[in-house]
Amino acid sequence: MPVICVGGMIGIGKTSVAELIAKELGSEVFYESVEDNPILPLFYTASPDEIQAKRYPFLLQLYFLQTRFASIKEAYKKGDNVLDRSIYEDWYFAKVNHDLGRISSLEMQVYEGLLNEMMREIDGLPYRKAPDLMVYLKADFETVLHRIGLRGRDFEQDESLVAYYRTLWSGYDDWVHKHYSASEVLVIDMQHTDVVNNPEDAARVVQEVRDVLTEARLRA
């Protein structure tokens, strides 16, 4: 039974797509830890001085790393699940914050050491070692900002965050095509896809996922 990761920019619609796929395949969604995340609002609202003093970006990446590690092990053990972002994607966020000077080189070294140990454990799991598919959601930057606004989380709305969002967005394709190699990748253009309000779009996305999974099984 397949394990599918749904990835992409903040606010682009990962949860809606993950829930759609899980419902159609009769599987469970492992959600990204956001609503119960004690560090995320601090990360978004802290001043540059507070970020330097409190090290919120580093703490946030450690928190996400731990929760995503737990989620992917459980998803792999059950063997038929959808992950709303996964541990494979976590490194990209850490790298961006390192490049922006929010995570120090020493912190990045510690983070990558922990990540590498976790990935070695995942590679040694007896029941599964990788997802069957990553569904990568992409759109132009204006669409991403619009959807972040529609989501309405107060701590995500400050104008000062736009530059951060643009930096994340500008390198996402490069991460997918040059750094992600755990599974097949299905790209969904979310600029022209609305799985919540358009049943035809929802049906198309589900069929595309089924087609890729079928092709992968035939090649195996």
Residue 100 has phi, psi (to 5 degrees) of -85, -5
Of 36, 12, 7, give the one whose Cα is nearest residue 143. 12
Look up residue 131 and give its amino acid: P
Q: How far apart are CA 64 and CA 55, in angstroms?
A: 15
Cα separation, 123 vs 104, in Å, equals 28
User: Which residues are known catalytic residues?
Assistant: 84
How crowded is residue 96: how many other Cβ atoms within 10 Å of its Cβ? 19
